[in-house]
Amino acid sequence: MSRKRLAVLGAGAVGGSVVELAAEYGHDVVAFADSSSAVVDADGLDAAAVLDRKETEGVVGDGDPDDALAAEYDVLVEATPTTLGDAEPGISHVEAALARDRDVVLANKGPVAERYADVRALERGSDGRVLFEATVGGAIPVLSTLADYGPAHVTAARGILNGTANFILSRMTTEGLGYEHVLAEAQDLGVAEADPAFDVEGTDAALKCVILANVLSEARAEDPADAREFTLDDASVEGIKEIPGSALELAGEGGRTVRLIGEATPDGVRVGPRLVPKNGSLAVGGTRNVVQLEHVHCGQLNLSGRGAGGPETAAAVLADVGRLS
């Protein structure tokens, strides 16, 4: 595996962890930017010093964010916050890297969920590649498994792709507590954000399913450029806020439980609370995620693990970097 020079955009939990862990994986971070600042060092950054400065001063360096994009790097790691609609500025970052024939590794879901066809078109016009393992299921190797086993042989991908919603539902079920109570607890624990809408309304899970549907659809098109493209608007999405504790209790009577399940097929995306067997492979507890691939030759493949978190997601990003030989 060759040593890569990384430019990391985004200094949240994921971007920060990539900077922290890159050396451990044999790579150098030569540029790092958050939304207002940047630091560039062709010899490789001092990760500890940069992260300390971000922590104490709120900036990563004295440079302009665009400096990182202009630096001499091999792989652009795009870990800025996911944006809906036009997926900016993520998509522009992807475009800038591909225009220079550099590779891109995405942790930001926006470009591949909202503008998949554009990303692929840009990639076709470049010597650079785009990988995005980290966008679906955090640490869980969903997309690389899909790629290895052939997305054309996978008829559906379904599972639990949001740890916050899963934590709330599983805790409501086991403790018999109401939604508001468990949400407050999740916020105290740092499992849910102050504004939990993105998670509990199913948007986050839907974005991941949209990405999966795009991959499944593309694998079936004769010409990838003609593949049916999915965006969040194409997904049917229902959240978990309206589910009372009594419903979870009733589900248990029948040996089942309720989970926020996302389903992706080459023809569509659906996210909503569903009844699943209480002891089945999809009824994971806590913040765990699980993805079940329906494969024509293998039957069901279940992949589960941590679906979020800085080091977890950074490990998926760095696995992608390793795939870019």
**CB-based contacts of 168-172 (< 8 A; 24+ apart in sequence):** 168/192, 168/200, 168/240, 169/240, 169/243, 169/248, 169/257, 169/258, 169/259, 169/260, 169/273, 170/257, 170/259, 170/284, 170/285, 170/286, 171/286, 172/243, 172/245, 172/248
Of 47-55, 119-127, 134-142, 272-280: span binding other proteins (CB under 8 A): 272-280
Among 251, 290, 291, 317, interactor with other proteins by CB under 8 A: 251
Among 1, 49, 189, 250, interactor with other proteins by CB under 8 A: 250
Of 31-39, 126-134, 150-158, 204-212: span binding other proteins (CB under 8 A): 150-158
Binding of other proteins by 174 (CB under 8 A): no
Q: Give least dist CB 248 to other proteins, A.
A: 8
Binding of other proteins by 17 (CB under 8 A): no
Contacts of 76 (CB under 8 A, 6+ apart): 6, 7, 9, 69, 93, 94, 96, 97, 102, 103, 104, 105
Partner residues linked to 269 by β-bridges: 235, 264
Active-site residues: which are they?
Answer: 208
Partner residues linked to 237 by β-bridges: 271
Residues 301/282, Cβ–Cβ less than 8 Å: no
* Closest by CA position to 97, among listed 5, 11, 24: 5
Of 10-18, 52-60, 214-222, 256-264: span binding other proteins (CB under 8 A): 256-264
Partner residues linked to 305 by β-bridges: 289
Of 27-35, 50-58, 134-142, 248-256: span binding other proteins (CB under 8 A): 248-256
Q: Give least dist CB 287 to other proteins, A.
A: 20
Q: Give least dist CB 244 to other proteins, A.
A: 6
Which element (helix H / strand E) includes 6?
Answer: strand 5-9
Residues 260/270, Cβ–Cβ less than 8 Å: no
Which tokens is 204 given?
């986050």
Of 72-80, 94-102, 179-187, 244-252: span binding other proteins (CB under 8 A): 244-252
Q: Give least dist CB 258 to other proteins, A.
A: 6
Per-residue contact flags (x/-) with other proteins for residues 200 to 239, judged by CB under 8 A: --------------------------------------x-
Between 53 and 153, name the residue whose CB sits nearer to other proteins. Answer: 153
Q: Which residue has the tokens 């971070």?
A: 29
Partner residues linked to 259 by β-bridges: 274
Question: Total residues at the site for other proteins (CB under 8 A)?
Answer: 31
Residues 97/77, Cβ–Cβ less than 8 Å: no
Q: Give least dist CB 138 to other proteins, A.
A: 22
Between 70 and 247, name the residue whose CB sits nearer to other proteins. Answer: 247
Binding of other proteins by 292 (CB under 8 A): yes
Contacts with other proteins by CB under 8 A lie at 155-156, 158, 238, 242-247, 249-256, 258, 261, 263, 265, 272-276, 282, 292, 294, 300
